[in-house]
Amino acid sequence: MSRIVVAGAVIDAGRLLLAQRARPEHLAGLWELPGGKVEPGETTAEALRRELDEELGVEVTVGEAIGAPVEVAAGVDLVALRAELVTGTPQPREHLAIAWVDADELAALCARGVVVPADTAWLPDLDALLRGE
């Protein structure tokens, strides 16, 4: 059975929250949808709520999956879930920085190669969400 890692597409007012990775070395400096490992006994939604609280200090409601899971390593699948802020202002507790980007800014970051490669698989889905389609 695959291990699951979850990523949150936090969208607010047509902008997507990205976090800049501090580690591991080969991903440091790249932008990603924030999230993390699903612990034993957790649902993906529970894991995303916990991870975003730990990493960014925010409470979110978790919605539907975005796109298809992406295999990021042998036996490890990354799942993206839509999320909306409930309380808190995101702070980069474990990241170098955070940024709110619109659809055009997201596309530009992906084109420059500064987004974690796995997350670029969801660009069409994220673009549609950000444009309200």
Whether the pLDDT of residue 1 is over 80: the answer is no
pLDDT of residue 2: 79
CA distance 121 to 126: 10
Q: What HEC string does 20-68 produce?
A: ECCCCCCCCCCEECCEEECCCCCCHHHHHHHHHHHHHCCEEEEEEEEEE
Number of structural domains, the chain? 1
Domain harbouring 65, CATH code: 3.90.79.10
Task: Specify the pTM.
Answer: 0.94
Contact 99, 31 (CB under 8 A): yes
Query: Which residues form the domain of 46?
Result: 3-130
pLDDT digits (tens, 9 = 90+) for 110-130: 999 999 999 999 999 999 999
pLDDT digits (tens, 9 = 90+) for 34-63: 999 999 999 999 999 999 999 999 999 999
Contact 83, 104 (CB under 8 A): no
Q: Structure tokens of 56?
A: 């960014």
